């Protein structure tokens, strides 16, 4: 049983987050569910409605929100700006390695999710890292909508 939740030791600043969102178009949503009541679904739908291209990544689904789902990040064709993670902390290091390998611009861990060691690894590889923040809330805060 998990007895504690890790907190981010450092995080992207509001300005950095705003800049990242303003210059990104493609978001791979790792662990995206096809259930409308799930946070991942609501966040991905919001992103689509606000001009982002989303790429569902979930080995158990063929399609979400009308977009083809891929089993893992390395299967995704074409460039990815943000890798948005809706998974448990122990899945994060592997996803970060994949994000580095495909040349993603940023790794984004959703609200409640932080992995400082993986974040250090991503930053060292030149990726931006946002931890324990909801990309939908941050987009709303930065741009309204």
Partner 1 sequence: MKNIIELNERNFEQEVLKANGTVVVDFYAPWCGPCKMLAPLLDKLAGECAGRARFVKLNVDEAPHLAMRYEITGVPTVMLFRGGLILDTFVGLPNPRALKARLDELADAGTPAAVPTH
Binding site for partner 1 (CB under 8 A): 2-7, 9, 111-112, 116, 132
The distance of closest approach from Cβ of residue 23 to partner 1 in the complex, given in angstroms and rounded to an integer, is 25
Q: How far apart are CA 114 and CA 39, in angstroms?
A: 17
Q: Which is nearer to partner 1, 13 or 23 (CB)?
A: 13
Token pair listed for 40: 């991942």
CB nearer partner 1, residue 6 or residue 98: 6
Distance CA 144, CA 130 (A): 19
Shortest reach from residue 137's CB to partner 1, in Å: 11
| Closer Cβ to partner 1, 72 or 132, answer by number | 132
- Nearest approach, Cβ of residue 51 and partner 1 (Å): 27
CB 98, CB 72: distance < 8 Å:
yes
Q: Could you tell me the smallest distance in angstroms from the CB atom of residue 30 to partner 1?
A: 18
Nearer to partner 1, 9 or 22 (CB): 9
């Amino acid at each position: 049983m998990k007895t504690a939740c890790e907190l981010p030791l450092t995080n992207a600043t509001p300005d950095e987050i705003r800049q990242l969102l303003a210059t990104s178009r493609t978001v791979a949503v790792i662990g995206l569910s096809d259930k409308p009541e799930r946070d991942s679904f609501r966040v991905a739908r919001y992103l689509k409605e606000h001009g982002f291209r989303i790429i569902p990544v979930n080995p158990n689904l063929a399609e979400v929100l009308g977009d083809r789902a891929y089993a893992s990040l390395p299967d995704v064709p074409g460039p990815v700006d943000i890798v948005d993670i809706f998974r448990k902390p122990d899945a994060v290091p592997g996803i970060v390695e994949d994000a580095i390998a495909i040349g993603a611009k940023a790794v984004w861990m959703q609200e409640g999710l932080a992995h400082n060691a993986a974040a250090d690894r991503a930053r060292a590889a030149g990726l931006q890292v946002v931890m324990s923040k909801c990309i939908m809330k941050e987009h709303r805060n930065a741009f309204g909508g």
